Amino acid sequence: MEKKIYIETYGCQMNFSDSEIVASIITEKNYTSSDKAEDADIIFLNTCSIRENAEQKVFNRLKQLQHLRKNKPGLVLGVLGCMAERLKTSLLEEKEMGMRVDMVVGPDSYRDLPQLLLDVENGQKAVNVILSSEETYADITPVRYASNGVSAFISIMRGCENFCTYCVVPFTRGKERSRKPESIINEAKGLFRDGYREITLLGQNVNSYHWQDEQSGKAWSFPALMEAVALIDPALRIRFATSHPKDMSDELLQIIALHPNICMAIHLPAQSGSSNVLKKMNRKYTREDYMDRIHAIRRILPGCAISTDLIAGFCGETEEDHQQTLSLMHEVGFDFAFMFKYSERPGTLAAKKLADDVPEKVKSRRLQEIIDLQNELSLKSNQADVGKEFEVLIEGTSKKSEKRVSGRNSQNKVVVFDNNKDFKPGDYAKVKITACSSATLQGEYVEG
Ligand code: 5AD
Ligand code: SF4
């Protein structure tokens, strides 16, 4: 009998993309996928280690899932992804953990899953947390089991070697490596043929994408790759994430300017507005360098949305440093931001060398100030769009009303409007913005 497998994904887009690779590897081998943990024989949690609360969420979920063993003694519970890589065999220590985990599989070992499942069936605990300097899963066609049929991720590179001092990623995802361009372009072509209309090229640090073709000697940079994907069809939108400010070249911005189907939205994590803090974070740029990149975006791509990541309360952050983060936010006028409290991660350079000395209360207050300011900035940015027209790629019906559809404009803003034209997911519509909140734009369809 075919066994049913259920995958639950936590964390970043890369993890969601990896889960599609896992689904592909597994369903080729006599397993079928299930969309409910309760129905499954095998449950995988694809996990995230970026902050302590991300790990806590997974521990709670693992504990909660244990009761399913009562009705299903053969249930296999596997931890995949960054927590598997970080915590390794300690996850299998039943006494210490206060629960049972059967499998631990790191992000570079998914090809080994069918064998590891056999090992578990034979009564062994299964572990593979070996990191690779080559694995890109280039030949695996992801199974898009949770997709809206319109937008898809394509992973173009893996790993990170930037070693920002706060970040656990270089330890859990290993060395940076790029995927063969042909396999990326073919995957994008296949998605377009299947009706997809938006592709996000994914990597921890996409601007350092690099591929040297052994036979022809031809070198591929990220701008070249993006251009090749953009040329597949003008109706296929291209996005990318995430970029490191130190590698955001004018050449890349010029390629975006040249192709209307490359979206006008750049995610450029600043982390802090203080050069002192940036230095302690090992970000390799100053506030001025960051602003120089912002000015380049404004110059080459007028109308481009800019979003960011910010960390409140990093080691040694003073009130003045925090004020500089707020002033950077004002100066750039971010359209959107992901905002976090600093969370010390064991094994990172910050954990080893810097004191986590900003009191919890102060971190919380600073984070709240950052969030409040971003809400104002997002509202302002949306208000400035009222009266403008945008091309919207429709993703589905609006959550609030069946009669309305929801999609995104090139700037990655959610736009909701009346479906008075029998629009389907994947259709493009020209929409005039009539109202907004800090989170969404409301509009109406305009002919032409
Ligand atoms: N604490 C808080 N936020 C972190 N990030 C990465 N590591 C940490 C940490 N230890 C944030 C950064 C990064 C985003 C993915 O997560 O802002 O850009
Ligand atoms: Fe972490 Fe820095 Fe790499 Fe991003 S660039 S994954 S923040 S080490």
Per-residue model confidence (pLDDT) at position 133: 94
Rounded to 5°, the CA angle 236-155-264 comes to 45
pTM: 0.96
Looking at residue 271, what DSSP letter applies?
B
CB 170 within 8 A of CB 131: no
Per-residue model confidence (pLDDT) at position 384: 98
Ligand 2: atom nearest CA of 204 is: 6
Pocket of ligand 1 (CB under 6 A): 50-51, 166-167, 269, 271, 309, 311, 340, 342-343, 345
Ligand 1: atom nearest CA of 309 is: 17
- Is the domain spanning 389-445 CATH 3.20.20.150? The answer is no
Give the closest residue (by CA) to ligand 1 atom 7. 167
Per-residue model confidence (pLDDT) at position 448: 72
* Cβ-defined contacts of 22-29 (< 8 Å, 24+): 22/46, 22/80, 22/110, 22/113, 23/142, 23/143, 23/145, 24/140, 24/141, 24/142, 24/143, 25/110, 25/111, 25/113, 25/114, 25/140, 26/113, 26/114, 26/117, 27/143, 29/114
Alpha helices for 211-311 (secondary structure H): 222-230, 250-258, 275-280, 287-300
Whether ligand 2 lies within 6 angstroms of the CB of 23 is answered as no
Alpha helices for 349-393 (secondary structure H): 349-353, 360-383
Closest ligand to residue 344's CA:
1
Whether ligand 2 lies within 6 angstroms of the CB of 165 is answered as no
Per-residue model confidence (pLDDT) at position 30: 82
Closest ligand to residue 315's CA:
1
SS3 state at 29: coil
175-217: per-residue pLDDT in tens? Answer: 999 999 999 999 999 999 999 999 999 999 999 999 998 889 9
Residue 321 Cα to ligand 2 midpoint, Å, equals: 21
Residue 169 Cα to ligand 2 midpoint, Å, equals: 6
Per-residue model confidence (pLDDT) at position 185: 98
Burial 224-254 (b: 16+ CB within 10 A, else e): bbbbebbebeeebbbbbbbbbbbbbbeebbe
- Structure tokens, 416: 């909701």
Closest ligand to residue 247's CA:
2
CA-closest candidate to residue 186, choices 217, 228, 246: 228
Strand 389-397 vs strand 404-408: parallel, antiparallel, or unpaired?
antiparallel
83-138: per-residue pLDDT in tens? Answer: 999 999 999 999 999 999 999 999 999 999 999 999 999 998 899 999 999 999 99
Residue 102 Cα to ligand 1 midpoint, Å, equals: 29
What CATH number was assigned to the domain covering residues 4-128? Answer: 3.40.50.12160
Per-residue model confidence (pLDDT) at position 29: 85
Residue 335 in this model has a pLDDT that exceeds 90: yes
- Structure tokens, 351: 């954990």
Kindly report which listed range (30-39, 105-114, 220-229, 367-376) carries the lowest average pLDDT score: 30-39
Mean pLDDT, residues 36-52: 97
- The gap between the terminal CA atoms of the chain, to the nearest Å, is 54
Mutation probe of ligand 1 site: the residue of 12, 50, 349 with most atoms within 8 A of C-beta: 50
Domain with CATH 3.80.30.20 in the chain: 151-382
Rounded to 5°, the CA angle 321-327-330 comes to 155
Give the closest residue (by CA) to ligand 1 atom 18. 309
291-315: per-residue pLDDT in tens? Answer: 999 999 999 999 999 999 999 999 9
Per-residue model confidence (pLDDT) at position 326: 98
Give the closest residue (by CA) to ligand 1 atom 14. 309
Domain with CATH 3.40.50.12160 in the chain: 4-128
* Backbone angles phi and psi of 226, in degrees to 5: -65, -40
140-156: per-residue pLDDT in tens? Answer: 999 999 999 999 999 99
CB 52 within 8 A of CB 14: no
What CATH number was assigned to the domain covering residues 151-382? Answer: 3.80.30.20
Facing residues of 128 across strands? 105
* Backbone angles phi and psi of 57, in degrees to 5: -60, -40
Per-residue model confidence (pLDDT) at position 447: 86
* Helix H or strand E encompassing 80: strand 76-81
Residue 311 Cα to ligand 1 midpoint, Å, equals: 7
User: For residue 145, what are the CA distances in angstroms to 152, 181, 289, 334, 422?
Assistant: 11, 24, 41, 33, 26
Per-residue model confidence (pLDDT) at position 21: 97
CA distance 24 to 32: 10
Question: At a CB cut-off of 8 Å and minimum separation 6, what does 71 contact?
Answer: none
